[in-house]
Amino acid sequence: MREVHNKKIYSYPKDVLIAAVIFAAAVCQWGGNHGKAAETVSFAALEDIAEKKVAITFDDGPNPDYTEELLSGLKERGVNATFFLLGKEVEKYPDIVKDISDSGHLIGTHSYEHVNLSNLSDAAAIEQVDKTNAAIYDITGKYPEYIRPPYGCWKCNLDYETKMIEVLWDVDPKDWATDNSGVIAKRVIDKVGENDIILLHDASESSVKAAFAIIDELKKEGYTFVTVEEILME
């Protein structure tokens, strides 16, 4: 489930792009003295196209028991993630929020109190967003651009009112429903594909362990982990 509003994203099948690059390289090489340079550039581009990207995201934090452990493991693995934070937790644990930001991860908004924003009046929904954004800005010096509404429920007119970009997900292992990290990891690994957005929570030991297992396995399979911004705006 992925939503992006007010942005145009164009994508083409990878085999089409690869074929185009190979063809361009062949034409340039046939052309004479500049062929070698053109071939080098073209196959560098081919390597970029072949890169498999995936985004891992965490909702409901910051969590005083698990977020720091997660950050440490992400750093060890050289992985950038996206954190969708709750305003009330941001206010409680500003040091953790600063650590998330300073570690190079992308921070988004997840409302202030984890409420279904589509059930609120526009004014109340906007307050949930603005209050959270302000709390994050006070700590990081940056206003979030992305929001993951709780339960994936959002009003389209709030795109304009809040100037936020809605981000949902492609793979949800429902990590909140089990404490078995192996089950969580398998659900993701079995389903995930290129350019997918994975939904997890930094609210339990099982979710953190599952995140590390997912990262380790997908890296073996050739995936590169990026923020949702890179997935959506590429």
Given the residues 59, 60, 196, 202, the one annotated as active site = 59
Q: Which of 105, 110, 201, 202 is catalytic?
A: 201
Spatial separation of the C-alpha atoms in residues 232 and 77, rounded to whole Å: 23
* DSSP secondary structure of 180-194: -HHHHHHHHHHH--T
Distances in Å between the Cα of 1 and the Cα atoms of 170, 184, 199 are: 5, 18, 10
The string over 134-145, giving b where at least 16 C-beta atoms fall within 10 Å of a residue's C-beta and e elsewhere, is: ebbeebbeeebe
Is 172 in the active site? no
- Neighbouring C-alpha atoms within 13 Å toward the C-beta of 192: 29
Is 5 considered catalytic here?
no
Return the active site residues.
59, 201
